[in-house]
Amino acid sequence: MKIVVPVMPRSLEEANAIDLNKFQNADLIEWRADFLPKEDILAVAPAIFEKFAGFEVIFTLRTEKEGGNIMLDKDEYIALIKEVNALYRPDFIDFEYFSYTDVFDQMYDFPNLVLSYHNFEETPENIMEIFSELTALAPQVVKIAVMPGNEQDVLDLMNYTRGFKTLNPEQEYVTMSMSKLGRPSRLSADLFGSSWTFASIDQGSAPGQIALADMVKIKEILDAD
């Protein structure tokens, strides 16, 4: 289980002020570029990729449709992704498949895709179909984050992840049930086949994220003989 820590600067000044020492226990960095105005993203990108040159970086434009902070039409979305990829070659690129299905054909040649689905309202009844559709596309990572309405939703997500991972052992899955109710899914990712868990430093990017320092301690306990 790798620990991903999001960074969410709202300006170039905030990006330059990031204290790298706070991130030394992170395995990956997710740059949530949607916290910036769209016209500032390319101007801030050099600071982010230079600062985190020693880390694997996930480039993410989380749109308002999936719980983020930016509105982009399909042309703007795909153009930003392509330009950042061409200039900086991030280790992973998050792509909101169900929000931008009609431009996904332009992403076929990208080897580093995280095909994602986020639902901050519920755990949908068709969650198995979502797993199946994303898995069939064989991206580098399938990512699913949903809001539980009850304990069974949390257990269902974990069980579906375990089942799909068992059937598709070469496919990487990253899944989480959000909010306080869903925290067990963040703590036990290894147990049910989820490769990453997300932790926060100063500010979380989603409900239920655990502080990095606490997650490191928990991981050490879980990994101990």
- Residue ranges for the known binding site are 30-32, 62, 186, 205, 209
Query: Residue 77: what residue type?
Result: Y
State whether residue 126 is helix, strand or coil. Answer: coil
Which of 51, 65, 74, 118 is labelled catalytic?
118
Nearest to 84 by CA among 103, 57, 55: 57
- Residue ranges for the known binding site for 3-dehydroquinate are 30-32, 62, 186, 205, 209
Measured CA distances, 196 to 45, 46, 69, 84 (Å):
24, 25, 23, 23
22: annotated active-site residue: no
Which of 51, 143, 165, 219 is labelled catalytic?
143
Give the integer Cα–Cα distance in Å for 185 and 200. Answer: 16
Nearest to 164 by CA among 175, 153, 154: 175
Give the integer Cα–Cα distance in Å for 132 and 167. Answer: 11
Nearest to 145 by CA among 187, 179, 176, 115: 176
Q: Which residues pair with 196 in a beta bridge?
A: 2
Q: Which residues pair with 59 in a beta bridge?
A: 31, 93
Give the integer Cα–Cα distance in Å for 98 and 177. Answer: 18
Give the integer Cα–Cα distance in Å for 196 and 140. Answer: 13
Identify the sign of the CA torsion 179, 183, 184, 190: positive
118: annotated active-site residue: yes
Positions annotated as catalytic residues are 118, 143
